[in-house]
Structure 1
Amino acid sequence: MGLLKLRKNKKFSYTPRYYKGEGNPYEITHKFDEHRTTVGSNSGLKTKFNNALEDYKNPDKKANRRILIIVGILILVFLFIIDFDLSIFFSK
């Protein structure tokens, strides 16, 4: 009767309708994972930090310039909020 045996699951040879045949159709990945170095099986915090620095030092100068402009604007907004006097940098 098999009171102590577990029932085996049924197996089906199902393939999705529009499956092209490359890779696993059920694997969920992000669109840009193959271009990133920070995604994957990194072992430690130091490795992750080093990979992020290498990714930041890429030759894409437009992205670096954009980041510097955003940081500069945020610093100026912060100085404006704390009411810092910028006139000390300018001579009369």
Structure 2
Amino acid sequence: MEARTVILTLGGAAALARELGMPAGEKAAGTIRAWAHRGSIPGEWMAAVSRAAARQGRPEINEAMLAAIAERRSLAARGLSTGSSGITAPPLGRLQRPCEPTA
């Protein structure tokens, strides 16, 4: 699941902003939409989003899952990925060629 899916699952930007107790209005919904666009929910909001999900009967949306989304986004931003055995290096095509020794 990705941040955008979490937000949509919890009723969308405006509904989630209300659920989190943010001030009513476009600014709060815009903040939530920015999270979706950025691809992760800020760490300081993960516990509140997890509690909102639990109130809506969505226990699979929890702090550990939100942290995993943030970690995947962070790794992707650095050109890394997580494989079944943990962090893997970027594909070879994304690496610079080593310098050729000069004679």
TM-score, normalisation: structure 2: 0.28
Which of the pair is proportionally richer in helix? 2
Which of the pair is proportionally richer in strand? 2
Higher Cα radius of gyration: 1
TM-score, normalisation: structure 1: 0.31
